[in-house]
Amino acid sequence: MQIPPFPTVRLLAKADARAVRHGFPWVYANELVLDRRSRQLDAGTLAILEDANRVPMGVVAVNPASKIICRMLDQNPEAVIDAAWCETRLKAALAHRETLYDAPFYRLVHAESDGLPGVVIDRFGDVAVIQPNAAWADVLIDTLTDALIAVTGVTTVILNGTGRARTLEGLDERTEVIRGAAPDGPIAVPMNGATYMADVMGGQKTGLFFDQRPNHAFAASLSRGGRMLDMFSHVGGFGLAALAHGAKHVLAVDGSAPALELADAGADSMGCGASFETRKGDAFDTLTALGEEGGVFDIVVCDPPAFAPNKQSVEAGLRAYERLARLAAPLVREGGYLCLCSCSHAADLTRFRNASARGIGRAGRRGQVIHTGFAGPDHPLLPHLAESGYLKAVFFRL
Residues 6 or more apart whose CB falls under 8 angstroms from that of 35 comprise: none
Residue length of the chain: 398
Which residue is catalytic, options 70, 272, 341, 343? 343
- As beta bridge partners, residue 49 has 9, 58
Calpha distance 278→266 (Å, rounded): 12
CB-CB neighbours of 245 under 10 Å? 19
What is the CA angle 297-299-305, rounded to 5?
A: 110
Q: Is 343 a catalytic residue?
A: yes
The crossing angle, in degrees rounded to 10, of helices 314-328 and 349-362 is 40
- Among candidates 236, 198, 197, which has minimal Cα distance to 220? 236
Provide the 8-state DSSP code for 11. B
Calpha distance 193→50 (Å, rounded): 50
**Cis geometry, peptide bond prior to residue 5 (ω within 30 degrees of 0):** yes
List residues with catalytic annotation.
Answer: 343
